[in-house]
Amino acid sequence: MANIELSEQEEVRRQSLAALRELGINPYPAPLYPVDTKAKEIEEGYDPEKGNFNDVCLAGRIMSRRIMGAASFMEIQDSSGRIQAYVKRDDLCPGEDKTMYNTVFKKLLDIGDIVGIKGFAFFTQTGQLTVHVKELTLLSKSLKVLPIVKEADGKVHDAFTDPELRYRQRYVDLIVNPQVRDVFVKRTQIINTMREYCSDAGYLEVETPVLQSIPGGATARPFVTHHNALDIPLYLRVADELYLKRLIVGGYDGVFEFSKDFRNEGMDKTHNPEFTQMELYAAYKDYVWMMEFTEKMLEKIALKLHGTTVVEIEGNQIDFKAGFRRVRILDAIKEYAGVDVAGMDEDALRATCKDLKVEVDPTMGKGKLIDAIFGEFCEKNFVQPTFVIDYPVEMSPLTKRCRYDDSLTERFELFVNGHELANAYSELNDPIDQLERFQEQAALKSKGDDEAMYVDYDFVRALEYGMPPTSGIGIGIDRLTMLMTGKSTIQDVLFFPQMRPEKILTAGKEESDR
């Protein structure tokens, strides 16, 4: 590949790199550096009367500098925050040789370089908490120029806010917008709280295959690959449901998994082709129990992250206090779309969609036609947490039929702020009924529905050995993180969201960065 074209500033930094090496300074030394203090620890704990923090060792990135002759200031940013550092020439170079200060510090170091400092904490005459540097070590030379965010006259200048750049260069985003890190800290807290909640309930965390010979557990278009040794196609999982239910057949009372799943679909503010979800399956439970389990878990997460059940999302005050509203899906369609679709056949549903100006295509069966109407007219109305329950059989090929109406299933989807957050069932454990519904899905696939399920004969065989009454749920971790952190796009809660290949300008042509 041709050499990437460098800016003038990047050229200068490479010249500084060469100069450092000529002085015998390794710009990328061995990794061990004896860090014993964080910036935030000093900020929160320093007391001049106690004389604490009088011998500290920190490491971080230079974020600003003020060169003032024989003494200078710089700002160091580590993983906990920023702190000012005071560098005095005679402290850094107590002997006759002042090269380390006059040449290295003043001329060859740059904003963005990572340094280690040893010294003591004190307050300047203006009251600024500062580390007086007695020893400075270059730990990593930065060859790229950071976009430095400046504040002046109450306004922010040169902020790194372009979404394309932020998502593609998340490492830069995390450096110059450190508040972004808090989103991902909260994401981990969410997962840890869910893990603790499910484990405390007595359920076992497990792992199931990512590569599957049959992509089951959801109606979705899969990614396909090829296994050379076996000479067979394999699919990245669209869900882990069918494997987890096999474990219930095997005798576990409850299993759960945090899984990376993959669906070969479009990308928008709430969809990424690679996403994370938690699936839980509990024996001898039903969807009513699962609603109560879910709302209590979400209440616990909100309290853990915010100390309250009320979370602000896009200007809405969302209350996650347990006791969510429940509404039947056909009643919701009647209320918000103004039509009663109960008992309609496929032709009537297609005509209704046409009357309602809902976009459909010939491959869609009854289930997808009903879902299209619901998506167009209903979802946006469920701002507060709402369980939409009792879906028609055609929409739910893995779900037990409703105990009071054979045409419906014991299924719920949880909607918050107008988007689906979770999907749950009383699981279908009748192997004959399950096979028939798989075959109905196969018929839809033959009509051109590339999201319809495959027939999984091994899963049917597992059910033939007997699966106890079971309830299961899948909760989207990405969307849950969006809700709990007040973010409106899924890209804001993924470190590295999927994007088109980047075009990198090289010395003569553009090349895709693979």
Residue 12's CB: how many other CB atoms inside 10 A?
Answer: 13
Q: How many CB atoms lie within 10 A of CB 257?
A: 21
Residue 183's pLDDT is 96
The three-class DSSP label of residue 464 is: helix
Phi, psi dihedrals of residue 16, rounded to the nearest 5°: -65, -40
Q: Which residues make Cβ contacts (< 8 Å) with residue 157, sequence separation at least 6?
A: 149, 150, 151
Query: What Å distances lie between residue 36 and 56, 73, 78, 130, CA to CA?
Result: 7, 22, 12, 16
* CA atoms within a 13 Å half-sphere pointing along the CA-CB vector of 421: 24
Per-residue confidence in pLDDT tens, the chain, 514 aa? 456 789 999 999 999 999 999 999 999 999 899 999 999 999 999 999 998 999 999 999 999 999 999 999 999 999 999 999 999 999 999 999 999 999 999 999 999 999 999 999 999 999 999 999 999 999 999 999 998 766 666 665 556 888 989 999 999 999 999 899 999 999 999 999 999 999 999 999 999 999 999 998 888 899 999 999 999 999 999 999 999 999 999 999 999 999 999 999 889 999 999 999 999 999 999 999 999 999 999 999 999 999 999 999 888 999 999 999 999 999 999 999 999 999 899 999 999 999 999 999 988 989 999 999 999 999 999 999 999 999 999 898 889 999 999 999 999 999 999 999 999 999 999 999 999 999 988 898 888 888 888 899 999 999 999 999 999 999 999 999 999 999 999 999 999 999 988 876 555 555 555 4
C-alpha pair distances (Å), 447 with each of 352, 442, 452: 21, 9, 10
Domains 8-146 and 180-324+384-493 share a fold: no
List C-alpha distances in Å: 438 to 168, 205, 210, 392, 432. Answer: 40, 28, 21, 16, 10
Q: What is d(CA 73, CA 63) in angstroms, rounded to the nearest whole number?
A: 11
Torsion of CA 236, 239, 240, 245, to 10 degrees: -140
Question: Given strand 211-212, what is the order of strands in its sheet?
Answer: 211-212, 232-236, 224-227
**Among 261, 260, 264, 267, residue whose Cα is nearest residue 222:** 264
- Contact by Cβ (8 Å): 505, 512: no
**Residue spans per domain, the chain:** 8-146, 180-324+384-493
The predicted pLDDT at position 411 comes to 96
In this structure, are residues 116 and 59 in contact, taking their beta carbons and an 8 Å threshold? yes
Report the alpha-carbon distance of residue 366 to residue 372 in Å, rounded: 10
Exposure string for 56-80, b = 16+ CB within 10 A, e = fewer:
bbbbbbbbebeeeeeebbbbbbbeb
CB contact at 8 A, 146 and 112:
yes
DSSP per-residue codes, 128-148:
-EEEEEEEEEEEE---S----
Residue 361 CA from chain centroid, whole number: 32
Q: Are 346 and 366 in contact (CB under 8 A)?
A: yes
Structure tokens at 398: 């893995």
Q: What is the pLDDT of residue 43?
A: 96
How far is residue 29's CA from residue 141's CA, in Å, rounded to a whole number? 10
Per-residue pLDDT at 1: 42
Supply 100's token pair: 């380390």
Q: 119: how many CB neighbours lie within 10 A of its CB?
A: 22
Please name the residues in contact with 478: beta carbons below 8 A apart, sequence gap of 6 or more: 272, 275, 276, 490, 493, 494
Architecture of domain 8-146: Beta Barrel (2.40)
CA distance 254 to 279: 11
Q: Please tell me the distance from the alpha carbon of residue 158 to that of residue 280, in angstroms, as a whole number.
A: 45
* 472 close to 279: Cβ distance less than 8 angstroms: yes
- From residue 257, how far is each of 177, 303, 369, 456, 463 by CA, in Å? 32, 23, 31, 21, 21
From CA 442, how far away is CA 438, in angstroms rounded? 6
Helix or strand or coil: residue 438? helix
**Total-model pTM:** 0.90
- Output the DSSP codes for 156-208: EES----HHHHHHTHHHHHHH-TTHHHHHHHHHHHHHHHHHHHHHTTPEE---
Is residue 78 within 8 Å of 85, Cβ to Cβ?
no
Say yes or no: domain 180-324+384-493 is CATH 3.30.70.3420.
Answer: no
Task: Burial-class residue 201 by CB neighbours within 10 Å (0-12, 13-18, 19+).
Answer: middle
Query: How many angstroms separate the CA atoms of 448 and 221, rounded?
Result: 12
